[in-house]
Amino acid sequence: MSTMAEKIFARAPGKGEVVAGDIVMADIDIAMMHDLTGPLAVESFNKIGTEKVWDPSRIVIPFDHQVPADSLDSANNHILMRKFVEEQQIENFYDVKEGVCHQVLPEKGHVIPGTVIVGADSHTCTYGALGAFATGIGSTDMAMVLSTGQLWFKVPETIRFNIDGKLKENTSAKDIILNIIGQVGADGATYKSCEFAGETISQMNISDRMVLSNMAIEMGGKTGLIEADAKTYDYLKDRVSGENRNRLKAFIEKSNLNTDLDSEGLEMIDIDVSDLEPQIACPHNVDNVKPASECSDIEIDQVFIGSCTNGRIEDLRDAAKILKGNEIANDLRLLVIPASKETYLKALDEGLIKIFVEAGALVSAPCCGPCLGGHTGLIGPGEVSLSTSNRNFKGRQGSPEGQVYLSSAKVAAASAIEGRIAVPK
Amino acid sequence: MKGKVWKFGNDIDTDIILPGRYLIYTDEERLSEHCMEGLVPDFKSKANEGDFILGGTNFGCGSSREHAPIAIKGCGISAVIAESFARIFYRNATNVGVLLLEAPVISKVIEDGEEIEVDMEKGIIISESGKEYEFKKLPPFMLEILEAGGLINYLREKNE
């Protein structure tokens, strides 16, 4: 009678069965760091003094936060990381051309259900959408993983969100997760494993599942798990190679990692999304959530469609459907950034990029963009941003006197046309 | 430990502690120059060695950037006291040698600018007017990590 998190950690050496609250030393299947958190982790790794990383085939390094380099400092960080990749013969290195880490890892087949993945980035929880226990860690912990392949964890308790009902046409997974965070609060799931289950999730594609898992951290969650199913297998089957392919098939067919509903301490919250309206997270906290219809007096200077939350092809299709044949409002800037090269190519093939450019958008190569306010598309004092990303903290996208609102790609596109927050029809 | 309190509210996130545009730096000196700057410009020069940061609930929420506790450390802050901490921040702060103390309702009873004292042995925070508030005592191994200045120094000392 165990939760998914308990079952996954039960694989840890020397542990037959584990329960929430146990401290376990777990073997790490995949470790990820990027161009912005990598340098600190490499510094710490060098201080530890281990000569070689534990397993170069299990380390993934994508460049995404500052690509292409926008300053000498970031160019130097890239040089440092490329040197590390070469010296340590890291097998999975994705230089500036590939895209946002949390899109690249699933796309390239690094996320296998039932595995333990750590990343030096808080949105590592995204991979939970494919049934992996994935969580964000800092650079010192990453240095420990690089040296030993292990890290200690407190096995988390679980909150399971049972989501039922069919979403309305103008809403999406983003509205579900914003609504949940608004309900439970920014620390409502601290240290807990969040699980998303129910009929709505079974029907949901992998892209939308990733939206939910991605934002588990915004309520303090340690990860955002979704039980692997036939959709997970279909998504991954052509992405994994070699032995992993058979392992994946066997896992999906015989998986017993799903949460037992009679697990001790399991907290369950039922949510019906049939009447859900488009949602907005207002400044400066992600749990400051209101229906979009109550925000229609908010004028916007910049709209950003992209990021590891909503930069996938499904999001770009949603936005293009609304923007097609329309022009964005005067004095408004619309930035569209596909989350990966794969997404970008699909958007090109489907004619979406043409729709965006004709509507007046700036389309950039895959990267994190304005999401973290460190690279491109920053907002100035007094400016208002509407963003499909995951955080609206004070100063998140540039000036601390700026304001960031969060929404789905549908709301973002409709709002770009209106010049103010708008509810898509 | 004695020092002045710099009081902030609930949900102090890592973007406030250290904005994303400074993550290109890795050294404590440069990072600390931008610590808390969205709320208190030039925080580092205003804060004195040994001062305390006081928060409400969920201090350190958001990103996994270890740059945030490193910036706090570089400002000479002797401890961050809050009602609760976000998970990744808690671990990162300990790993880089920043002392975090968890005390219920503390942000409702201590004011900004107050001179307070922290008694680690007794596990109490003493307000300017002499009132005592308990914090959760840390286990010995965590104190050893903090005394060593962080996890890596601690491991290196152990190996020597």
Domain ranges of chain B: 2-159
The pLDDT of residue A247 is 80
Rounded to the nearest 5 degrees, what angle is found at the Cα of A34, between the Cα atoms of A75 and A303?
A: 85
Whole-angstrom Cα distance, residue A201 to residue A199? Answer: 5
Distances (CA, A) of A243 to A94, A109, B27: 22, 12, 42
* A122-159: pLDDT as tens digits: 999 999 999 999 999 999 999 999 999 999 999 999 99
What's the average model confidence in pLDDT over A295-319?
98
Radius of gyration (C-alpha) of chain B in whole angstroms: 15
Q: How many Cβ contacts (< 8 angstroms) between chains A and B? A: 120
pLDDT bucket at A15, cuts 50 / 70 / 90: low
Whole-angstrom Cα distance, residue B78 to residue B28? Answer: 15
Whole-angstrom Cα distance, residue B87 to residue B95? Answer: 13
Contacts of B95 in chain A (CB under 8 A): 138, 140-141
pLDDT bucket at A246, cuts 50 / 70 / 90: confident
What residues 146-205 of chain A have any CB closer than 8 A to a CB of chain B? Answer: 186-187, 190-191
What residues 243-282 of chain A have any CB closer than 8 A to a CB of chain B? Answer: none
Closest-CA residue to A295 (of A405, A143, A398): A405
User: Residue A254 above 80 pLDDT?
Assistant: no
* A344-357: pLDDT as tens digits: 999 999 999 999 99
Report the percentage of chain A scoring pLDDT > 90.
91
Distances (CA, A) of A381 to A282, A397, A398, A410: 17, 11, 8, 26
Q: Give the Cβ contact number of residue A44 at 10 Å.
A: 25
Q: Bigger pLDDT: A256 or A340?
A: A340
Q: What's the CATH number of domain B2-159, 1.25.10.10, 3.40.190.10, 3.20.19.10, 3.40.640.10?
A: 3.20.19.10
* A214-233: pLDDT as tens digits: 999 999 999 999 999 999 99
Mean pLDDT score of chain A, rounded to an integer?
95
Contacts of B91 in chain A (CB under 8 A): 137-138, 141
The pLDDT of residue A342 is 98
What's the average model confidence in pLDDT over A51-79?
96
pLDDT bucket at A310, cuts 50 / 70 / 90: very high
Phi, then psi, of B49 in degrees rounded to 5: -50, 125
Asked whether the beta carbons of B96 and B66 are under 8 A apart, the reply is: yes
The pLDDT of residue A255 is 72
What residues 71-90 of chain B have any CB closer than 8 A to a CB of chain A? Answer: 84, 86-88
The pLDDT of residue A55 is 97
| Strand B115-119 to B2-7 pairing | antiparallel
* A393-422: pLDDT as tens digits: 999 999 999 999 999 999 999 999 999 999
What's the average model confidence in pLDDT over A85-113?
97
Closest-CA residue to A28 (of A70, A57, A1, A62): A57
Hey, is the C-beta of B63 within 8 angstroms of any chain A C-beta? yes
Contacts of A143 (CB under 8 A, 6+ apart): A41, A42, A44, A45, A47, A48, B152
What's the average model confidence in pLDDT over A185-198?
96
The pLDDT of residue B47 is 97
Radius of gyration (C-alpha) of chain A in whole angstroms: 21
What's the average model confidence in pLDDT over A94-104?
98
Type of residue found at A26: A
The pLDDT of residue A12 is 56
* B72-130: pLDDT as tens digits: 999 999 999 999 999 999 999 999 999 999 999 999 999 999 999 999 999 999 999 99
pLDDT bucket at A245, cuts 50 / 70 / 90: confident
pLDDT bucket at A11, cuts 50 / 70 / 90: confident
User: Residue A106 above 90 pLDDT?
Assistant: yes
Report the percentage of chain A scoring pLDDT > 70.
99
Q: Which residue of B has its CA nearest to A69?
A: B24
Q: Compute the nearest-CA separation of A337 from chain B (Å).
A: 19
Asked whether the beta carbons of B54 and B107 are under 8 A apart, the reply is: yes
Asked whether the beta carbons of A179 and A48 are under 8 A apart, the reply is: no
Contacts of B92 in chain A (CB under 8 A): 138-141
Q: Which residue of A has its CA nearest to B11?
A: A186
Whole-complex ipTM = 0.92
**Residue from A23, A34, A40 to probe the interface with B (highest B Cβ count within 10 Å):** A40
Rounded to the nearest 5 degrees, what angle is found at the Cα of A68, between the Cα atoms of A336 and A87?
A: 135
Contacts of range B122-126, beta carbons closer than 8 Å, 24 or more positions apart = B125/B81, B125/B101
User: Residue A234 above 60 pLDDT?
Assistant: yes
Hey, is the C-beta of A376 within 8 angstroms of any chain B C-beta? no
Which CATH superfamily hosts domain A280-418? Aconitase, domain 3 (3.30.499.10)
Rounded to the nearest 5 degrees, what angle is found at the Cα of A352, between the Cα atoms of A177 and A338?
A: 50
Q: In this complex, do B58 and A220 lie within 8 Å of one another by their Cβ atoms?
A: yes
Q: Compute the nearest-CA separation of A20 from chain B (Å).
A: 16
Q: Do domains A4-271 and A280-418 have the same CATH topology?
A: yes
Contacts of range A185-188, beta carbons closer than 8 Å, 24 or more positions apart = A185/A219, A185/A287, A186/A218, A186/A219, A186/A220, A186/A285, A186/A286, A186/A287, A186/B11, A186/B58, A186/B61, A187/A219, A187/A220, A187/B11, A187/B57, A187/B58, A187/B61, A187/B84, A187/B86, A188/A219, A188/A220, A188/A287
User: Residue B148 above 90 pLDDT?
Assistant: yes
What is the DSSP annotation of A264-319? TT-EEEEEE-TTPPPEEEPTT-TT-EEEGGGGTT-B-SEEEEEHHHH-SHHHHHHH
User: Is the Cα torsion angle A349, A351, A356, A358 positive or negative in sign?
Assistant: positive
Q: Which fold has domain A4-271?
A: Aconitase; domain 3 (3.30.499)
User: Which pair of structure tokens corresponds to residue A224?
Assistant: 């955002």
User: Residue B32 above 60 pLDDT?
Assistant: yes
Q: Where are the domains of chain A?
A: 4-271, 280-418
User: Which pair of structure tokens corresponds to residue A305?
Assistant: 């469609």
* A356-400: pLDDT as tens digits: 999 999 999 999 999 999 889 999 999 999 999 999 999 999 999
